[in-house]
Chains A and B, each alone.
Chain A
Amino acid sequence: MKNKYSIISLIKNSFSYHENWQKAWGDPEPKKEYEIIIIGGGGHGLATAYYLAKKHKIKNIAVIEKGWIGGGNTGRNTTIIRSNYLWDASAGLYDHALKIWEKLSQELNYNVMFSQRGVMNLAHNLQDVRDLKRRTHANRLNGIDAVYLNTQQVKKFCPIINTSPDIRYPVLGGTLQRRAGTARHDAVAWGYARGADEMGVDIIQNCEVKGIKRNGDSVDGIETTKGFIKTKKIGVVAAGHSSVIANMAGLKLPLESKPLQALVSEPVKPIIDTVVMSNAVHAYVSQSDKGELVIGAGTDDYVSYSQKGSHEIVEGTLNAILELYPIFSRMRMLRQWGGIVDICPDASPIISKTPIKGLYFNCGWGTGGFKATPGSGDLFAHTIANDEPHKLNAAFNLNRFVSGDLVDEHGAAAVAH
């Protein structure tokens, strides 16, 4: 049983100089067999394990992680959470996640620092204006809060934006989702890990999957650096490495893995209290609780697993940032990094069964998976436990690439992929 985190436990532990906090999760050796194995200990994988244990009462679950939990894309994203997607299927999926976010800290007894500071998406040309208005209407029909702002309202909501008509891509308007915002990404992984561990999930770190053993058309277990582990059900949540795992099972996925970069500035006093994204110039910015500007850049166009990315991508993003926010012209950037994102041809995820019995994939989140973490885990757990998708993720099946029933969110999703 885990001790509850509260103001009282905080005070109590301060007397022992915070040296005696209970361990949030264990470090078990893998058992010989599990009912379900989740490959990938990021936010989505840990959330999947958490909901499998909590909602579906499955006892014998392991999460296998190559490095340390939350050390992949969970700790590399720009922490933006929103649900203002155009298509009904996406709106359903992402708003399901947003509703869980709103209660997540209480549910996990772990402060994920969810902050509904609003996300504003800018329009820079007439087509942007039309697209954004259309998306606002579509969102409202789906019960998602969205408003369209004109240039003056954009300026009022975020005064540091340069709304001069003289800039290369002038701000003609924007949309605002007030329920959207940010969360502390590490805390999400840690909170789910602690919750899953409490319910008996084995979180096995520093254990790389080397192969998937198949028995005809079903799975039989996984080969890892810590030996063979038997199981009848495998949920793969390996983000950029999904194709690598699929290849081990003799499966091909419609994915390409590419570096996506982000960067943070030196910390400064509060200057931007919302998240501003721009599709046309591909720049988005928010400010972390530490005071750093968190800036998201674009993906490179070539396949790479190198977690680096090209300099000109960052340069292009910063050009756009400086034109929109001249006040940042003398800011210094502290760190830059890349994460490997798995992108689907329709820029929508796959949460699906596969032609191999007992093998499930949750992948293809591309550049925007963090926001979906709780919903993705919940729906993937449902899919694995029942061997059937939930109605909210039924559209996100692998077979859509054969049937042609794609969920084309390229550009429509308020940010280019």
Chain B
Amino acid sequence: MFLIHCPYCGEREQSEFKAGGEAHIVRPKQPTELSDDQWAEYLFMRKNIKGVQFERWVHTHGCRKWFNMVRDTSNDEIKAIYKMGEKPPTKYK
């Protein structure tokens, strides 16, 4: 259990949120031209990093808005939170 600072509502309990997996996976622009390997990469393959990871969360039991989070998956420490469409903070790249 940890606290998450929703960029729209402020600090709330993690139980109000839902994790949406790895962030910045771009939806293919030309889906009809994708090979099976490229589909597999887009749909299934994940970095699943132990350490600092970029991910999406949604404030399900709050404003229901999506946002991005930078989190250390080895100890659940949240490093940064930024809105959808904003550039990810460069210091964690």
Counting contact residues on chain A (CB < 8 A from B), the size range is 20 to 34
Chain B residues, Cβ within 8 Å of A312: 1, 15
A252 touches B18 (CB 8 A): no
Chain B residues, Cβ within 8 Å of A311: 1
B21 touches A401 (CB 8 A): no
A254 touches B1 (CB 8 A): no
Interface residues as binary, B36-63 with A (CB distance below 8 Å gives 1, 0 otherwise): 1101110111111110010101000000
B45 touches A305 (CB 8 A): no
Chain A residues, Cβ within 8 Å of B73: 257, 303-306
Counting contact residues on chain B (CB < 8 A from A), the size range is 20 to 34
- Bound-state CA distance A300–B75 (Å) is 14
Residue picked from B14, B41, B45, most chain A C-beta under 10 Å:
B45
The B contact surface, by secondary structure, is mixed
Assuming the contacts A302-B55, A312-B15, A402-B40, asked whether A257 and B76 have C-beta atoms less than 8 A apart, the reply is no
Interface residues as binary, A253-280 with B (CB distance below 8 Å gives 1, 0 otherwise): 1111100000000000000000000000
Partner of B45, one of A254, A301, A306, A342: A254
Residue picked from B15, B41, B76, most chain A C-beta under 10 Å:
B76
Q: Is A244 an interface residue (CB 8 A)?
A: yes
B40 touches A257 (CB 8 A): no
B45 touches A302 (CB 8 A): no
Q: Is B74 an interface residue (CB 8 A)?
A: yes
A256 touches B74 (CB 8 A): no
Chain A residues, Cβ within 8 Å of B1: 310-312
Q: Is A308 an interface residue (CB 8 A)?
A: yes
A403 touches B46 (CB 8 A): no
Chain B residues, Cβ within 8 Å of A255: 46, 48
Kindly list the 3 A-B residue pairs having the minimum CB-CB distance in the complex, ordered from nearest: A302-B19, A243-B48, A254-B44
